[in-house]
A and B are shown apart, each in its own frame.
Chain A
């Protein structure tokens, strides 16, 4: 047993050498980059943000890693998409973090999907349908109107949790919404040519984008959500699309690129990789960049004949 004690002591010493971060008024644990970016817009210097996933990661499939648990331990507020998107890891992180601020039902537990209108809410759920989300499709960040709704609710929540800085949050929120509304006008004007455009998507990630831009989704490459497309199903999609042509095939940056390239080559239509969230590619470096880049890529693909 003598051998074991130095090992433990070493582990403790190692851990204590880690420095404590600079002081901030609110510690934010953001499950996805879009909510980290939004917290930054509203909180500025008054928030210390940890973003649990990167723009290159699939938020459905994350492990309850030690780093997430230690960050959740000290968070004042947890900002996640919700609607069971993070069901595979977040409950474990929250339970192990033993932080009552971020327990479900507390002001420090914030689900973005709680303040928007959910689309594709299934009337029944069964695992034979693949990765279905009972509360509806959770990928709400692909419609910028949802970002504005979440911003308002989140600003309110920051004020509740940190009333000392209420005026700062209020002002930053107002400023953000003003810039956002201006951007919305611009985006919607730019996106006019996309209205009614028939598209194919790899995963059902884009319903809110389709809804916003009036895109017409004619097929999905995954036969069931989250189930990788089989070659048989892809062949079916190809034959569907021969009758009902689509103008492009869309996937998120983190997804396997083979199915979209297969379809794109077969049908001679562009395969479009969209950032999906902040950090999904270099140009999508903040929320404004995310939509600028998304529209730029869609418009470029739509311009191809």
Chain B
């Protein structure tokens, strides 16, 4: 069967491939393929007949185990013609679950303690999305995920990710289909998805290096930007990795709102490049731009209509001795955010230029054990008198937070974390301590870089 598929694929391939072929070459190859195909077809049907015969014989076999044994023994040598055909076809004939998607589960729970009440805690000068707040005190389930992935057919791949919130609600975090066979380095993805802007935006929570997103992501993207829309990627045909992305979204997620622009409220573009430095080091750099339209976006009972544009510069560097991450590795990353907000806030014209950045490093100093440090800061803008006292009025606070992390991995699939954060993001400083576990089970796709 495998050879048959190969032959068929080859037939397809010859029609698009090498200019070196002359027409008669092509037709002679086609003839050969046809011959191969019919030969394999007949061998396979012969095999199937023999198998059926063998099965009948075995089933009827009052005729003793001996005859069944001979019949079965007759199969293996013939089966070497197509070693994979037998198990595959017999499995798919009998098993209803042969095409089940890969199902994986992420469980996550934590204990959080903080010096200030997390309820309603904000970040001075920034309107936070409701999901970007601090964790509740005490034991929390955290966000669990159920991920279902599979190839849909030879040209499409599907991914459905449910996020189960601590409140017990199921949310569709991502639900997209993606092309797998467009070729030419082009990939099209559509549905609900995380945007490819920045470095961390499309990284799922269970794969973050710290227990929470850095401050600029929380303040400017509500944690991470996910929305309903389409994404087009193109990977340049170069030895150097260079990839471009363009995205169009409904505009219903923070910092967009109200599905502006006829339901195409958010547009984004990005470019990434990266490579290796010797065997031990690798890097990835990206520049991203997003425009998020807001049509009567609700901000704590007030209304904002206008545009928020965001530019992100990202740099990631990873090191492991000889490229073996098992014993030791280091990941350094940093991102810089430029944000402008133009429009009307409760009918008052508003124009803000804000920025933020973070830098973090996680060092695995021996197998299973890692330590991490992160510093993040935001620069709010001054507001006109009409907006004094509003959510955008930082009142002289330049928010920052510093985080330290200790992590122990039980394996690639389980980890325990202790994380301490000192943050001065509001008028009163806050100290926060978290203990967290994250585990993954089931067939889980390989992670991105």
Residues on A facing B (Cβ under 8 Å): 1, 3-4, 7-8, 11-12, 14-16, 18, 20-21, 53-54, 56-58, 61-67, 69-71, 73-74, 87-92, 95-101, 103, 105-107, 114, 127, 160-164, 227-228, 254, 256
Which residues does chain B contribute within 8 Å of A92, judged by CB atoms?
445-448
Q: Nearest Cβ distance between residue A67 and chain B, in whole angstroms? A: 5
Known: A14-B273, A54-B323, A57-B322. A4 touches B289 (CB 8 A): yes
**Quick one: which of B6, B157, B412, B446 has the most chain A CB within 10 A?**
B446
Which residues does chain A contribute within 8 Å of B184, judged by CB atoms?
98
Known: A4-B289, A107-B13. A64 touches B449 (CB 8 A): yes
Which residues does chain A contribute within 8 Å of B338, judged by CB atoms?
1, 3-4
Q: Nearest Cβ distance between residue B122 and chain A, in whole angstroms? A: 26
A73 near B287 with CB under 8 A, answer: no
Which residues does chain A contribute within 8 Å of B233, judged by CB atoms?
98
Beyond A160-B10, A163-B21, list 14 extra A-B contacts (CB 8 Å): A1-B340, A4-B338, A7-B287, A11-B285, A11-B287, A63-B449, A65-B282, A95-B180, A98-B186, A99-B185, A105-B9, A161-B13, A163-B25, A164-B21
A160 near B240 with CB under 8 A, answer: no
Query: What's the count of A-B pairs with C-beta under 8 Å?
Result: 173
A66 near B274 with CB under 8 A, answer: yes
A-B contact pairs, 19 of them (CB 8 A): A14-B273, A21-B239, A54-B279, A56-B322, A63-B449, A65-B274, A65-B276, A66-B275, A67-B276, A69-B243, A70-B236, A70-B239, A70-B241, A71-B239, A73-B235, A90-B446, A97-B235, A98-B179, A254-B324
Which residues does chain A contribute within 8 Å of B90, judged by CB atoms?
none
Task: Map CB proximity to A onto B345-362 as digits: 1 under 8 Å, 0 otherwise.
Answer: 000000000000000000
Q: Nearest Cβ distance between residue B359 and chain A, in whole angstroms? A: 17
Per the bound structure, the CA–CA distance linking A256 and B366 in Å amounts to 11
Per the bound structure, the CA–CA distance linking A105 and B5 in Å amounts to 8
Whether B385 sits at the interface, judged by CB under 8 Å, is no
Which residues does chain B contribute within 8 Å of A97, judged by CB atoms?
185, 235
Per the bound structure, the CA–CA distance linking A105 and B448 in Å amounts to 23
Per the bound structure, the CA–CA distance linking A56 and B320 in Å amounts to 12
B182 near A256 with CB under 8 A, answer: no
Known: A3-B338, A65-B274. A98 touches B235 (CB 8 A): yes
Whether B374 sits at the interface, judged by CB under 8 Å, is no
Whether B187 sits at the interface, judged by CB under 8 Å, is yes
Cβ 8 A contact of B187, one of A64, A70, A98, A162: A98
B324 near A63 with CB under 8 A, answer: no
Which residues does chain A contribute within 8 Å of B411, judged by CB atoms?
127, 227
Q: Nearest Cβ distance between residue A228 and chain B, in whole angstroms? A: 6
| Smallest Cβ-Cβ distance to B33: which chain A residue | A160
| Smallest Cβ-Cβ distance to B329: which chain A residue | A63
B449 near A66 with CB under 8 A, answer: yes
B239 near A96 with CB under 8 A, answer: no
A91 near B445 with CB under 8 A, answer: yes
Q: Is the interface on chain B under 10, 10 to 19, 20 to 34, or 35 or more residues?
A: 35 or more
A15 near B181 with CB under 8 A, answer: no
Per the bound structure, the CA–CA distance linking A66 and B446 in Å amounts to 14
B10 near A107 with CB under 8 A, answer: yes
Which residues does chain A contribute within 8 Å of B2, judged by CB atoms?
114
Q: Nearest Cβ distance between residue B278 and chain A, in whole angstroms? A: 10
Which residues does chain B contribute within 8 Å of A91, judged by CB atoms?
445-446
| Smallest Cβ-Cβ distance to A8: which chain B residue | B287
Which residues does chain A contribute within 8 Å of B18, judged by CB atoms?
162, 164
B181 near A103 with CB under 8 A, answer: yes
Whether B417 sits at the interface, judged by CB under 8 Å, is no
Q: Closest 5 CB pairs between A and B? A: A66-B274, A66-B241, A4-B311, A70-B241, A15-B242
Which residues does chain B contribute within 8 Å of A89, judged by CB atoms?
446
| Smallest Cβ-Cβ distance to B32: which chain A residue | A163
Among B72-124, those with CB < 8 Å from A are 83-84
Q: Nearest Cβ distance between residue A166 and chain B, in whole angstroms? A: 10
Which residues does chain A contribute within 8 Å of B286, judged by CB atoms?
11
Q: Nearest Cβ distance between residue A56 and chain B, in whole angstroms? A: 5
Q: Nearest Cβ distance between residue A189 and chain B, in whole angstroms? A: 29
Whether B29 sits at the interface, judged by CB under 8 Å, is yes
Among B316-330, those with CB < 8 Å from A are 318, 322-327
B235 near A15 with CB under 8 A, answer: no
Which residues does chain A contribute within 8 Å of B186, judged by CB atoms?
98
Task: Map CB proximity to A onto B405-433 as digits: 1 under 8 Å, 0 otherwise.
Answer: 00000011100000000000000000000
Among B276-324, those with CB < 8 Å from A are 276, 279, 282-287, 289, 309, 311, 313, 318, 322-324
Cβ 8 A contact of B273, one of A11, A88, A95, A228: A11
Per the bound structure, the CA–CA distance linking A11 and B275 in Å amounts to 13
Q: Nearest Cβ distance between residue B1 and chain A, in whole angstroms? A: 11
B447 near A127 with CB under 8 A, answer: no
A64 near B447 with CB under 8 A, answer: yes
Per the bound structure, the CA–CA distance linking A103 and B156 in Å amounts to 12
Per the bound structure, the CA–CA distance linking A162 and B309 in Å amounts to 50
Cβ 8 A contact of B287, one of A4, A98, A105: A4
Whether B386 sits at the interface, judged by CB under 8 Å, is no
| Smallest Cβ-Cβ distance to B270: which chain A residue | A8
Per the bound structure, the CA–CA distance linking A114 and B84 in Å amounts to 8
Task: Map CB proximity to A onto B164-182 as digits: 1 under 8 Å, 0 otherwise.
Answer: 0000000000000011111
Task: Map CB proximity to A onto B112-139 as digits: 1 under 8 Å, 0 otherwise.
Answer: 0000000000000000000000000000
B241 near A69 with CB under 8 A, answer: yes
Task: Map CB proximity to A onto B230-254 as digits: 1 under 8 Å, 0 otherwise.
Answer: 0001011111111100000000000
B241 near A88 with CB under 8 A, answer: no
Per the bound structure, the CA–CA distance linking A57 and B326 in Å amounts to 10
| Smallest Cβ-Cβ distance to A3: which chain B residue | B338
Which residues does chain B contribute within 8 Å of A100, judged by CB atoms?
180-183
A18 near B235 with CB under 8 A, answer: no
Whether B441 sits at the interface, judged by CB under 8 Å, is yes
Q: Nearest Cβ distance between residue B237 and chain A, in whole angstroms? A: 5
A105 near B154 with CB under 8 A, answer: yes
B448 near A64 with CB under 8 A, answer: yes
Whether B215 sits at the interface, judged by CB under 8 Å, is no
Among B5-31, those with CB < 8 Å from A are 5-6, 9-10, 13, 18, 20-21, 25, 29
